[in-house]
């Protein structure tokens, strides 16, 4: 394992140190993402707000790949302290879905379950080089979560309140 001294990149990749919580740092990173989601303005989740949300997400993903690559040099390959990938995955899991507290809870639970279980091709995607291997598995889990929630909304819309 490499040095754990905290650089700016490592601090940001750990989402302001959240990734250094000793037990289940990925879950804590996802909880932070859900909290940020709940604080975002409602206008980002309808109409042209989706364009702003999507643009922000694309920039966040690019930044996450870069920060994860830098942090990995200090912390080692796919270090659990790097949780910015969970933030990206969670934000992707709620893309084009209505904003609500229940949506945050369902997305959080489903996203974490998929991120931990790593169904195909999530586990394989972790072999990609540098920050891509760290971030892409959470993006795939986010896509799976999003599709699953859209499907549940279609067949059981009352499930979301």
Sign of the alpha-carbon torsion through 115, 147, 110, 142: positive
Residue closest to 115 by CA, chosen among 134, 79, 142, 92: 142
- 3 assigned to some structural domain: no
- 106 assigned to some structural domain: yes
Render pLDDT for 98-141 as a digit per residue (tens, 0 to 9).
999 999 999 999 999 999 988 888 777 778 768 899 999 999 99
- Of 61-70, 72-81, 138-147, the range with the lowest mean pLDDT is 72-81
- 2 assigned to some structural domain: no
pLDDT at site 88: 98
- 1 assigned to some structural domain: no
- 148 assigned to some structural domain: yes
- 113 assigned to some structural domain: yes
Q: Indicate whether 93 pLDDT > 60.
A: yes
- 41 assigned to some structural domain: yes
Q: What is the pTM of this model?
A: 0.92
Q: Indicate whether 3 pLDDT > 70.
A: no
CA dist list (Å): 158 to 7, 98, 111, 152, 154 = 46, 13, 20, 9, 10
Domain interval for residue 150: 8-160
- DSSP letters along 8-62, please? HHHHHHTTTTGGGSSS-HHHHHHHHHHHHHHHS-GGGGSTTHHHHHHHHHHHHHH
Number of domains in the chain: 1
Tokens found for residue 135:
């971030």
């Amino acid at each position: 394992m490499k040095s754990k001294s905290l650089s700016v990149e490592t601090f940001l990749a750990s989402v302001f140190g959240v990734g250094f919580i000793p037990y289940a740092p990925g879950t804590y990173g996802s909880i932070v993402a859900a909290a940020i989601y709940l604080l975002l303005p409602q206008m980002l989740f309808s109409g042209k707000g989706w364009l702003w949300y999507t643009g922000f997400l694309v920039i966040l993903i690019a930044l996450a790949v870069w920060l994860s690559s830098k942090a990995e040099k200090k912390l080692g390959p796919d270090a659990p302290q790097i949780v910015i990938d969970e933030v990206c995955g969670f934000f992707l899991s709620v893309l084009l879905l209505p904003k609500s507290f229940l949506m945050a809870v369902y997305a959080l639970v489903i996203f974490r379950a998929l991120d931990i279980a790593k169904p195909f091709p999530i586990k394989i995607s972790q072999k990609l080089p540098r920050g891509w291997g760290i971030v892409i598995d959470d993006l795939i889990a986010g896509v799976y979560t999003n599709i699953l929630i859209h499907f549940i909304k279609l067949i059981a819309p009352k499930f979301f309140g």
